[in-house]
Structure 1
Amino acid sequence: MLAQTIATALLLAAAASAYPAPSPLDIIKRAPNPGIVISKCSSPGMLALAYDDGPYQYTGQLVDILDKGGAKGTFFWTGTLYGCIYKEQKAIEKAYASGHQLASHSWSHSRMGSMSQANIKTEMTKVEQALVNLVGIKPAYMRPPYLDTGGQFLATMKSMNYKVITNDIDTGDWNNQSPAQSQQGFQRAGASGNGHIPLMHEVYPGTVNTLTPWLINWAKTNNLKLVTVAECLGDTTGMYQPGNFTRQTGPYSC
């Protein structure tokens, strides 16, 4: 089956271009497909620090910690969970300017596995428009609230060209686990094998001020590169949807 896949890929590449065909392994390892659940990095030697539920009062502080540690993070943001996304404009601009990845966690943080396709799209397009209004981009990555991928959700994400991210380590910060308890999860998982994508939340001061600095040091001690989720997946297509997007005229509100 693998041999047949490689042969087909080479034939298509050769027919499409007069240039030499790319490596069959490069063809197979291209950017992750939309609408498919991804839980960890595609290669070893990386750690993708990924935070849910913002933007919030700690976002700017978290960006400073990441920048100081030479780390790139991924922010899965909502529209209204901890206040209106537009009220955190300065922090959002700061994260984007620092090269961190901005991604979607839906508008209202509701379970989308039981929603209609139309409602799922509304949850996503409202976050898209907010980020277009604030920094001019549409995200290409998302993490579903409650990690709920049932019903029409994955098919809808595929139609909207979204890469769906879950996790392979749960810090448990949402369940009142202390930073010390969260650290044990990383130590148990270890630094070998393909890189980790943890489930973390930027709305808890312990995660921002204690766990994140520890993770930066843990990664450096274990020779792990601290990258965005897109980079840890080898996604050469980029962190954002391609195209020029129209910003709405402010002032903005939720």
Structure 2
Amino acid sequence: MMLPETVIAGLLLASSVVAAPAPDPTSICKRGPSPGVVIQKCSKPGVLALAYDDGPYQYTSQLVDILDKAGAKATFFWTGTLYGCIYNQAAAVKKAYASGHQIASHTWTHPHMGTLSESQIRSEMTKLEEAFVNLIGKKPAYMRPPYLDTSGAVLPTLKSMGYKVITDDVDSQDWNGKTPDQSAQFFQQAGPGGNGHISLMHETYASTVQTLTPWLINWAKQNNLKLVTVAECLDDAKGAYQAGTFTPTGKNTC
């Protein structure tokens, strides 16, 4: 008996659907963090992101040596003029970048960004971008707002500029007069479980560089945590910097 053409077509279609191979999950690209969205914590377990604000400063080179000796990576959220002109720390900036640490933005002058207009926010970001291009040939794709201020025009403007916005989920409170021992308690309270922590620390304090950081390196080792950059802890290592080739202006003063 001859089957109607419509039945034959249906059978062929069903057979092709059944035979279609399942998609390979490893071929699906992971989507990185979205610009203009506040990120407080890592996206995977087993890691700890050491992140330092307000430099570069006199302790930057020493901090890089401490991290490098331990095989640890960190993220530096740097300003242009808060602790002197960034170009005065050119050697330390280049050293940190060459060692594989993540260089990120903390604005040019460290203002309360929520009080700024869109054009003022852009100026804060682009001035520092120019300095980074002159020093390391890269523009960062990550930033942490001073005072963690994301109000007003901050997030929409940073989104339009392609910046991934980082805050923290463990604050060392070194800025608030806490000793390294007291800061350590905040990490112990947060614990090593769950997705990794993004820390808030300041490389402008000798105690943070010389005491708290070595303690964190040891604490991470004891708890089988890998010390990584913020971008790495978000599975976005390739997205740490903006795409493209940038031409230095040759400027070396603020």
TM-score > 0.5 by shorter chain: yes
What residue is the counterpart of 1:241 in the other structure? Answer: 242
What residue is the counterpart of 1:253 in the other structure? Answer: 253
What residue is the counterpart of 1:225 in the other structure? Answer: 226
Give the C-alpha shift of residue 114 in structure 1.
1.5
Distance 1:249 1:232, change over 3 A: same
Gaps of 5+ in 1: 1-18
1:189 aligns with 2:190: yes
What residue is the counterpart of 2:18 in the other structure? Answer: none
Give the C-alpha shift of residue 239 in structure 1.
1.1
Secondary structure of the residue that 1:197 maps to in structure 2?
A: strand
Q: In 2, distance between residues paired with 1:135 and 1:114? A: 30
Q: Which of the two has higher C-alpha Rg?
A: 2
Q: In 2, distance between residues paired with 1:21 and 1:118? A: 45
Secondary structure of the residue that 2:93 maps to in structure 1?
A: helix
What residue is the counterpart of 2:36 in the other structure? Answer: 35
Secondary structure of the residue that 2:44 maps to in structure 1?
A: strand
1:186-224 Cα distance to aligned partner (Å, 9 max, x none): 111100000000110000000000000000000010000
Gaps of 5+ in 2: 1-20
Distance 1:21 1:214, change over 3 A: same
User: What is the TM-score of this pair, normalised by structure 2?
Assistant: 0.89
Secondary structure of the residue that 2:113 maps to in structure 1?
A: coil
Q: In 2, distance between residues paired with 1:240 and 1:46? A: 21
Distance 1:157 1:25, change over 3 A: farther
What residue is the counterpart of 2:81 in the other structure? Answer: 80
Q: How does 1:32-181 map to 2 (within 5 A)?
A: 32-181=33-182
Q: Is the CA contact (8 Å cut-off) linking 1:31 and 1:237 kept in structure 2?
A: no
Give the C-alpha shift of residue 26 in structure 1.
5.0
Q: In 1, distance between residues paired with 2:135 and 2:77? A: 15
User: What is the TM-score of this pair, normalised by structure 1?
Assistant: 0.89
1:200 aligns with 2:215: no
**Residue correspondences, number:** 234
Distance 1:125 1:22, change over 3 A: farther
Q: In 1, distance between residues paired with 2:142 and 2:250? A: 25
**Two-structure CA RMSD over aligned residues (Å):** 1.6
